[in-house]
A and B are shown apart, each in its own frame.
Chain A
Amino acid sequence: MQQDAVDAGGVPVIDLQDARKTYRSGEIEFEALRGVDLTVTEGEYVAIMGPSGSGKSTLMNILGCLDVLTSGAYRLGGDDVEHLSEVQLAQVRNRRIGFVFQQFHLLPSLSAWRNVELPMVYGGIDRGIRRDRAAQALARVGLADRLDNRPGELSGGQQQRVAVARALAGEPTMILADEPTGNLDSASTEDVLTLFDELHEAGRTIVLITHEPEVAHRARRIVSVHDGRIASDEFSDAVSAGRSGVTRERTA
């Protein structure tokens, strides 16, 4: 149903136009993004692919409002996020984006429950409400019985699922996952990717950044980045028809 709304011309979640990012290190200038146009609508499951140095990490930082563009425009959920102050950007990240990182980035001294709660603490949500939401999110990722465990007491796959629960709990506009399976074994990778499939079915907008084709092909749309530009942008039906890797992944 949401897909229909988007097809009917709803406001895109991500609207990036002629995005450019230049890093300066003394005399040397490095253009990480050289004019990227990207639109992602609500409910989409998009993989951004590319080798290291392609600019995909820079793109991820821009999309996650962790960094700002040198030139161009970025509208997140219809709102211009360029020209925002640091405090406003923090607010946007808090309310609109659910991050999942390669390194999990859980605080080791806090229980799973309190880790999931953390973004809502900064969002100023009441203790009772955020406790409930955190518990629900952990139940959603299948960790209802691990609320009080610390990250050190959980497996890598479980830790990443806690991180996904943390990304989900605040009801963000999109989930931004940066190499979410990079540190996981194949079984845990499958776990997390299945979880993303389910979230996509439930209508969540997911942007997944990866350099692994097998992971990228689980998404419904693959955007390839090369030398700071978008090299290709294909929907997965087309991709899967053309590549044997996908078939292998699907049948595995």
Chain B
Amino acid sequence: MNLQETFSTAWHAIRTHALRSLLTILGILIGIAAVIVTVGLGLGTQKDVSEQINSLGSNLLIVSPGSSTDSAGMRSGFGTGSTLTLDDATALGSEIAAPDVQSTAAEKTSSLSVVANDTNWTTSVTATTVTWPEVRSREVAYGAFFDQDDYDSDAHVVVLGSQTAVELFGRASVVGQTVTIDGVGFDIIGVLAEAGASSSTDLDDLALVPMSTAVSTVMGGTRAASISTIYVKAGSDAVLSAAYQEVQATLLNLHGITDADSADFTVSSQTALVSTATSVYRTLTVLLTGVAALSLLVGGIGVMNIMLVSVTERTREIGLRKALGAPPGAIRDQFLTEAGVLGLAGGLIGVVLGLLATWILPGIIGSSLVVSIPVVMLSLVMAVAIGLVFGVYPATRAARLAPIDALRSE
């Protein structure tokens, strides 16, 4: 019996019991679909995160107050909110101290209520410098960002995030209107463009005011000089680590700290965030793939079960084939092929379902899924292998049946 005949016999046997075969391969089908969806989800989320971070700019460093290494607990008394000052930001902008830094933007953020006419909206009010759009890679959709003149003159001007504008006025083009922040009036001179579809919404819900104005009005008080974050933009990706060193050294020097381990600030890069996110999603992928593997195992046992039933049911057929001259090997191959074809069928339908899910799911869960061709190929190979492995025992049993006993069975 040649290969083609073995396959056509197997296919024929499967088609004869179409419904049963379909139920049998359900486990493999679900397992394979799960593999494709979970791997796709893992890769897709990873892609989303990378895109989001890249949209901020990969050559960005973030300096925050406090230390991530303060395990001693002694320095907790410093407080985490007060160790960075506007002077630090200015120093980092210096060509001499940090030649690889292109520009810096200090941020001081406070959650405040913004009032327009009768509408009250609490948002993240951010006091910053004129370099903010450049450093954060953001565009202004309506009007303009505040300039150095506004900054120097402590002008009462504000630039709103697109969502904030919509919340307050029901539309985005609100340049020329006024709002009241913490009782102080501000003219709206600009509205930011949206940060992008895949980004989280809080990037579009904020109100930006000049640092100088904020310090003298809404964010005054004892901590007027302290800031919450300094964004540092390096000249390019290539000089990112050089810029990192310069920022670290400059700030240590400025704060009079000699030991880098006891720094009262933390410098982190976007790439560090990417790798953290990547490792999180890698863990997720491994976990979900484990779940998929388990359903494949169950599917394999299903194949074995139905093949054993099939061998019992077809004892007379096996006996006849042996009587007519089929050697044990041919019988074994026939059942093994049947199990393999079952696995392949489950794999193929699973792949189709998996691809369908990758197409439909992003609209439902809001996360993109990436189809990986190697994973599709691998899962098909896996499906066939499962069919074969779990088909070995039933096929061997069929091959060992004695023809006379098999022929006489009812």
A residues at B contact (CB < 8 Å): 61, 64, 66-67, 86-87, 90-91, 93-95, 99, 101, 105, 107, 109, 118-119, 121-124, 166
A93 CA to B328 CA, complexed, in Å: 13
Q: Sample 27 A-B pairs with CB under 8 A, ordered by A number.
A: A61-B404, A64-B323, A66-B323, A86-B327, A86-B328, A87-B327, A87-B328, A90-B328, A91-B327, A94-B326, A95-B325, A99-B323, A105-B316, A105-B320, A105-B323, A107-B317, A107-B320, A109-B12, A109-B13, A109-B16, A119-B324, A121-B1, A122-B1, A122-B321, A122-B326, A122-B330, A124-B1
* Assembly CA distance A67 to B323 (angstroms): 10
* A124–B13 CA distance with the chains assembled, in angstroms: 21
Closest to A92 in B: B325
Smallest beta-carbon distance B7→chain A, Å: 13
Asked if A93 contacts B12 (CB within 8 A), the reply is no
B47-88: contact bitstring with A at CB < 8 Å (1 yes, 0 no)? 000000000000000000000000000000000000000000
Contact A90-B322, Cβ < 8 Å, known A67-B404, A121-B5 = yes
Q: Is B196 an interface residue (CB 8 A)?
A: no
Chain B count of residues within 8 A CB distance of the other chain: 22
A91 to B325, CA, bound (A): 6
The smallest beta-carbon distance between B14 and chain A, in angstroms, is 11
Contact A90 B5, beta carbon cutoff 8 Å: no
Chain B contacts with A in 330-364, Cβ cutoff 8 A: 330
Shortest CB distance B9–A (Å): 9
Within 8 A of A (CB), among B299-332: 316-317, 320-330
With A86-B328, A121-B5, A122-B327 given, can you name 11 additional A-B contacts, CB distance below 8 Å?
A61-B404, A66-B407, A90-B327, A91-B327, A94-B325, A109-B16, A118-B321, A118-B324, A119-B324, A122-B321, A124-B1
Q: Whole-angstrom distance between the alpha carbons of A121 and B6 in the complex?
A: 10
**A-side contacts of B325, CB under 8 Å:** 90-91, 93-95, 119, 122-123
Instruction: Decide if B403 is an interface residue (CB 8 Å cutoff).
Output: yes
**Chain B residue contacts of A91, Cβ below 8 A:** 325, 327
A87 and B324 within 8 A (CB): no
Q: Are B1 and A93 touching (Cβ within 8 A)?
A: no
B198 to chain A minimum Cβ distance, whole angstroms, is 54
Assembly CA distance A99 to B324 (angstroms)? 7
- Sorted from nearest, which 5 A-B pairs have the closest CB atoms? A94-B325, A90-B327, A119-B324, A122-B325, A87-B327
1/0 contact trace for B184-214 toward A, CB 8 Å? 0000000000000000000000000000000
Q: In the assembly, what is the distance between CA of A86 and CA of B331, in Å?
A: 13
A107–B407 Cα distance when bound, in Å, is 12
- A101 near B407: Cβ-Cβ < 8 Å: yes
Contact in complex: A66, B324 (CB < 8 Å):
no
Residue of A87, A90, A91, A99 contacting most chain B CB atoms (<10 Å): A90
| A87 and B407 alpha carbons, distance in the complex (Å) | 18
Task: Give the distance to chain B from A147, nearest Cβ to Cβ, in Å.
Answer: 18
What residues of chain A lie closer than 8 Å to B13, measured between beta carbons? 109
Contact A90 B326 (CB under 8 A): yes
Enumerate chain A residues within 8 angstroms of B329, measured Cβ to Cβ. Answer: 87
Residues of A within 8 A of B327 (CB): 86-87, 90-91, 122
In the complex, what distance in Å separates the CA atom of A124 from the CA atom of B329? 14
Interface centre among B2, B324, B329, B407 (most CB of A within 10 A): B324
A146 CA to B1 CA in the complex, in Å?
Answer: 25
CA of A157 to CA of B196 in the docked complex: distance in angstroms? 79
B304 shortest CB reach to chain A, Å: 23
Query: Which chain A positions have C-beta within 8 A of B328?
Result: 86-87, 90
Provided the pairs A109-B16, A122-B330 are in contact, do residues A94 and B324 lie with their beta carbons within 8 angstroms?
yes
Complex: A10 Cα to B251 Cα, angstroms? 112
Contact, CB under 8 Å: A105 / B407: yes
Closest B residue, CB atoms, query A61:
B404
State how many angstroms separate the Cβ of B396 from the closest Cβ of chain A. Answer: 14
Q: Which chain B positions have C-beta within 8 A of A61?
A: 404
Minimum C-beta distance from A129 to chain B (A):
14
Taking CB atoms and an 8 Å cut-off, the chain B residues in 1-26 that contact chain A are: 1-2, 5, 12-13, 16
The answer for the CA separation of A94 and B323 in the assembled complex, in Å, is 8
Most A-side CB within 10 Å, residue of B12, B325, B403: B325
Residue in chain A with minimal CB distance to B317 = A107
**Contact in complex: B323, A93 (CB < 8 Å):** yes
Which chain B residues border A64 with CB–CB below 8 Å? 323
The chain A residue sitting closest to B319, CB to CB, is A105
**B326-A66 in contact (CB<8A):** no
Please measure, in the bound complex, the distance between the C-alpha atom of A119 and the C-alpha atom of B5, giving whole angstroms: 13
List B contacts of A118 (CB < 8 A): 321, 324
A101: B residues at CB distance < 8 A: 407
How far does the Cβ of A173 sit from chain B's closest Cβ, in whole Å?
13
Q: Which residues of the partner chain B approach A86 to less than 8 Å between Cβ atoms?
A: 327-328
Cα–Cα distance between A93 and B12 once the two chains are bound (Å): 25
Q: Whole-angstrom distance between the alpha carbons of A67 and B319 in the complex?
A: 13
* Residues on the B chain within 8 Å of A87, using CB: 327-329
The minimal Cβ–Cβ distance linking B207 to chain A, given in whole angstroms, is 76
A66 cross-chain contacts in B, Cβ below 8 A: 323, 403-404, 407
When C-beta atoms are compared, the residue in chain B nearest to A58 turns out to be B404
- In the complex, residue of chain A having the shortest beta-carbon distance to the beta carbon of B314: A107
Q: Select from chain A the residue with minimum beta-carbon distance to B400.
A: A86
Residue of A nearest to B15 (CB): A109
Q: Closest Cβ of chain B: how far from A76's Cβ, in Å?
A: 14
| A119 to B326 Cα, complex, angstroms | 8
A162 to chain B: closest CB distance in Å? 13
Chain B neighbourhood of A93, CB < 8 A: 323-325
